[in-house]
């Protein structure tokens, strides 16, 4: 898992201050997790946000690097959005990393429920979706 996190960080993940109106989802809130800006919509519970935050810490994803992610939910599927460097979605190896990470979140946080990893631009607009299943 640590290798996945290293690859994601090396891929040029960036922090960008995002207004909630630009999040592509309902307003919710924000939680700072060791340098990671964890945004969330009103479609998820605080308990779900805290479980994800604990996972990000335990897996050393949140480790003082400035990263922006967002948790949302549509039906039974969790949406994990992440701001990444433009063009990274064109790298087949990175697509595999995103899939592995979606699977890890699915199993490690949400009891096997589906997770869609949204590769996003600086405004959290989705450029690509990689599913856990």
Q: Number of C-alpha atoms within 13 angstroms, CB side, residue 39?
A: 24
Q: How far apart are CA 100 and CA 66, in angstroms?
A: 21
Mean pLDDT (the chain) is: 84
Residue 103's φ and ψ, nearest 5 degrees, are -65, -40
- Report percent pLDDT > 70 for the chain: 80
* Span 67-106, pLDDT tens digits: 899 999 999 999 999 999 999 999 999 999 999 999 999 9
- How are beta strands 77-83 and 67-74 bridged, if at all? antiparallel
């Amino acid at each position: 898992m640590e290798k996945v996190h290293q690859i994601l960080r090396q891929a040029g993940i960036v922090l960008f201050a995002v207004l909630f109106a630009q999040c592509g989802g309902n307003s919710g809130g924000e939680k700072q997790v060791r340098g990671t800006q964890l945004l969330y919509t009103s479609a998820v519970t605080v308990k779900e946000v805290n479980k994800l935050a604990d996972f990000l810490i335990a897996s050393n994803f949140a480790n003082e690097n400035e990263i922006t992610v967002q948790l949302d939910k549509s039906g039974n599927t969790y949406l994990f959005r992440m701001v990444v460097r433009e063009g990274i979605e064109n790298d087949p190896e990175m697509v595999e990393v995103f899939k592995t990470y979606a699977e890890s979140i699915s199993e490690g946080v949400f009891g096997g429920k589906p997770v869609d990893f949204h590769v996003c631009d600086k405004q959290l607009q989705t450029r690509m979706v990689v599913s856990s299943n």
